[in-house]
């Protein structure tokens, strides 16, 4: 009987061990993909290209280009709106890729994210 009990306990332990190895592998894959994502840049334009914003994978604005044609001292609000739109779109591009990365790693698992 002791042998039977030992085998049952060992088998259950192997299952947990396999699950832990799988979780560690997923964590390593997530870290690798996160590093790749942080190294990328996401650029978006607004106002037909009058304003161009670039963010990195850390969600930091790293470049902002403004066409001289977009600078109208009598309409600063329009320029502010264009900058806001370009930055927000670049961040949306990042979020889309970030979500796709997480979904790829999770493989369809319901992780409560």
Which two tokens mark 70?
């977009």
Q: Is the pTM of this model over 0.95?
A: no
* pLDDT at residue 12 in the model: 53
In whole angstroms, give the CA distance from residue 27 to residue 33: 10
Question: Domains in the chain, please, with CATH?
Answer: 2-106 (3.30.1310.10)
* pLDDT at residue 25 in the model: 86
In whole angstroms, give the CA distance from residue 68 to residue 46: 14
* pLDDT at residue 86 in the model: 97
- Ranges under pLDDT 70 in the chain: 1-14, 108-113
């Amino acid at each position: 009987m002791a042998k039977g009990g030992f085998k049952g306990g060992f088998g259950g332990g192997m299952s947990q061990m396999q699950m832990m190895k799988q979780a560690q592998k997923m964590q390593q894959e997530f870290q690798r993909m996160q590093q790749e994502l942080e190294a990328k840049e996401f650029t978006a334009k607004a106002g037909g290209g009058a304003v161009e914003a670039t963010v990195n994978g850390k969600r930091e604005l790293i470049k902002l280009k403004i066409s001289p044609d977009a600078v109208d001292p009598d309409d600063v609000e329009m320029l502010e709106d264009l900058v806001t739109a370009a930055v927000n779109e670049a961040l949306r591009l990042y979020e889309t890729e970030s979500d796709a990365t997480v979904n790829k790693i999770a493989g369809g698992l319901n992780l409560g994210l």
